A and B are shown apart, each in its own frame.
Chain A
Amino acid sequence: DAGVIQSPRHEVTEMGQEVTLRCKPISGHDYLFWYRQTMMRGLELLIYFNNNVPIDDSGMPEDRFSAKMPNASFSTLKIQPSEPRDSAVYFCASSGTDNEQFFGPGTRLTVL
């Protein structure tokens, strides 16, 4: 298995633009998590899904952020409009029944 796949690996955009981050979880995993990492706040959970259904989105900072999981093999995290304070590394992780979470390589987002 290729592991959790995220794209793009790097994204540079201007304030106000829409940003879409993508994640392909490990096949067979029924949990998918989106985390964000900044120097100030460390690693924090944004939202997670179980069987494609959002379970807890209390970590989503505000309405500018939205996440979807249209099927078991794909999820998106969208920021619209983006702001400089959204600059961070965004990680996607998935897990199955073994409790271990597998993380992707992350997307480094820079909003100018």
Chain B
Amino acid sequence: DAKTTQPPSMDCAEGRAANLPCNHSTISGNEYVYWYRQIHSQGPQYIIHGLKNNETNEMASLIITEDRKSSTLILPHATLRDTAVYYCIVRVANSGYALNFGKGTSLLVTP
């Protein structure tokens, strides 16, 4: 799987958009970008994934650059409950592949 690089920590004010960047310059053509998050003391939770088009669901939006070497996860209106570690993972889209978690970005949403 391609290696990803994320900032170790970020802050965001409650109600504002949180933009979490991820670099994956060695991504292969058949690899997707996945985002998971882990709230303290809980198991990781799937957020969203995409190949090359921007994606949006009820939780977040995923913006992937045209060359696919980087992406941004956007939480449009961050709440205190969004405080968590966010992991950007690149892998082939197949259930048989495990997730290679890196260190992620620790997002702190402040009142």
Interface residues of B, CB < 8 Å — how many?
20
Interface residues of A, CB < 8 Å — how many?
27
By a CB distance below 8 angstroms, the chain B residues around A45 are: 98-100
Looking at the assembled complex, report how far the CB atom of B50 sits from the nearest CB atom of chain A, in whole angstroms. 12
Asked if B103 is at the interface (CB within 8 A of a chain A CB), the reply is yes
Asked if B94 is at the interface (CB within 8 A of a chain A CB), the reply is yes
Give the total number of A-B pairs whose CB atoms are below 8 A apart: 53
By a CB distance below 8 angstroms, the chain B residues around A98 are: 95
Asked if B98 contacts A48 (CB within 8 A), the reply is yes
Which of B43, B46, B95, B99 contacts A106, CB < 8 Å? B43
By a CB distance below 8 angstroms, the chain A residues around B94 are: 99
Asked if B101 contacts A101 (CB within 8 A), the reply is no
Interface residues of A in 56-112 (CB under 8 A from B): 56, 91, 93, 95-106
Which of A31, A55, A56, A105 contacts B42, CB < 8 Å? A105
Interface residues of A in 40-62 (CB under 8 A from B): 42-45, 48, 50, 55-56
Q: How far is it, in angstroms, between the C-alpha of A98 and the C-alpha of B46 when the chains are bound? A: 11
Closest to B48 in A: A100
Q: Can you give 22 A-B contacts (C-beta < 8 A)?
A: A4-B43, A31-B96, A35-B101, A42-B103, A43-B44, A43-B87, A43-B101, A44-B101, A93-B44, A96-B95, A99-B94, A100-B46, A101-B36, A101-B46, A101-B99, A103-B44, A104-B43, A105-B42, A105-B43, A106-B41, A106-B42, A106-B43
